[in-house]
Amino acid sequence: MDRRTFLKRSLAGAGVVAGLGPLATRTWAEGKPEGGPSKQGVLKLGSQEGRIPGKSLREKVLRLAEWGGVGLEVGGNPRNRIKQIQEAIKGTKVKVSALCWGSAGGALVSPDKDRRNKGIEAMKSALETAGELGSTGVIFVPCFHRQSKLKPDELDKILLDILPAIGEFAQKCRSRVLLEPLNRRETFYIKTLGHAARICQQLNHPGLCMMGDFYHMGIEEKDDEAAFVAGGRWVHHVHLASRTRKLPGQDERSFVAGFRGLKRIGYQDYCSLECGIKRGTKPEEAIPASFRFLEKQWAEAKI
Ligand code: MG
């Protein structure tokens, strides 16, 4: 399939899946000149801090760097660890990728205004931290199961209402919100990159973006490549895990189609391990082996 045919098909497909009108599709296409992505996609590997063995954060960072990792993903809002994190990455190629923040118990989409405002304040504080750490963004899940009784279209409306001001704040902090779609076992709400992309397109703000997680995508997406293409310029973080949510390469899950999608959109941000490890394997051997596996899959992803 040539690129033009692929693009046409995947845009049409993404439009159907996400329920996009022609306007939204045009917005995406405007950002991507004919003839390929404006930048060549890059594979910048990294990991959540908890996945890397080490007695101290510095030890973890040095190990990650030795294995070729360049992105450190930190959990929650590490407001009181900013200095420690900066010290830990000092003098290495490792930078802070995303903050894995979460849902604040669904507070930001709560019908209770006080609760919602508290959630928004917590998100703003995380965005400030993200900016100070030079992080790519704050990972945000509007709600997991049992965190909201509202319907998806009601939740869409709340996001469209609250996110513009948060996006402005994020931009001031030099960071962004990263909407994360999850699989149906974890949420009834945003499950596909197409849905997240539709919200980003409607908001159309550089402070309001999204990500993709290969584990959830393996359950929810029919086509990893088309899913990342649907996310397009809004995709600014990726989580890596195998089908069984172990290290990439520890089961049959292929990353090639997804990597083709990332190359098609000229992806520039991090791909970060968020996964367990196969029983009986040691992280000191299995993580670098997984990185080498991913580099091979990246090379196999031809566009
Ligand atoms: Mg994830």
pLDDT band at 38 (very low <50, low <70, confident <90, very high): confident
pLDDT of residue 131: 98
106 alpha carbon to ligand 1 midpoint, in Å?
16
Q: Where are the domains of the chain?
A: 37-300
CA distance 122 to 132: 16
At residue 208, the 3 state secondary structure works out as strand
Across the chain, mean pLDDT equals: 91
pLDDT higher than threshold 50 for residue 53: yes
Asked if 221 and 228 count as a contact pair (C-beta separation under 8 A), the reply is: no
Q: Which two tokens stand for residue 128?
A: 């400030």
pLDDT higher than threshold 60 for residue 32: no
Q: Which two tokens stand for residue 30?
A: 């405007």
274 alpha carbon to ligand 1 midpoint, in Å?
6
Identify which of 22-26, 38-42, 159-163 has the greatest average pLDDT: 159-163
pLDDT higher than threshold 70 for residue 114: yes
pLDDT higher than threshold 70 for residue 116: yes
Specify the pTM. Answer: 0.89
pLDDT higher than threshold 50 for residue 128: yes
CA distance 116 to 108: 5
20 alpha carbon to ligand 1 midpoint, in Å?
24
Handedness of CA 212, 6, 223, 200 (dihedral sign): positive
pLDDT higher than threshold 90 for residue 4: no
pLDDT higher than threshold 80 for residue 68: yes
CA distance 237 to 265: 13
pLDDT of residue 37: 79
pLDDT band at 29 (very low <50, low <70, confident <90, very high): very low
CA distance 136 to 139: 10
| Region 228-253 average pLDDT | 98
| Region 32-37 average pLDDT | 55
13 alpha carbon to ligand 1 midpoint, in Å?
24
48 alpha carbon to ligand 1 midpoint, in Å?
10
213 alpha carbon to ligand 1 midpoint, in Å?
5
CA distance 259 to 299: 9
pLDDT band at 36 (very low <50, low <70, confident <90, very high): low
**Lowest pLDDT segment from 32-41, 110-119, 187-196, 207-216:** 32-41
Tens of pLDDT, residues 266-277: 999 999 999 999
pLDDT higher than threshold 50 for residue 1: no
183 alpha carbon to ligand 1 midpoint, in Å?
10
236 alpha carbon to ligand 1 midpoint, in Å?
13
260 alpha carbon to ligand 1 midpoint, in Å?
20
pLDDT of residue 240: 99
Q: What topology does CATH give the domain 37-300?
A: TIM Barrel (3.20.20)
* Residues β-bridged to residue 100: 75, 139
Q: Which helix (H) or strand (E) is 101 found in, with range?
A: strand 95-102
33 alpha carbon to ligand 1 midpoint, in Å?
30
153 alpha carbon to ligand 1 midpoint, in Å?
23
| Region 207-223 average pLDDT | 98
CA distance 246 to 137: 24
> Strands 177-179 and 208-213: what pairing?
parallel
Nearest to 46 by CA among 118, 136, 154, 116: 136
267 alpha carbon to ligand 1 midpoint, in Å?
18
5 alpha carbon to ligand 1 midpoint, in Å?
31
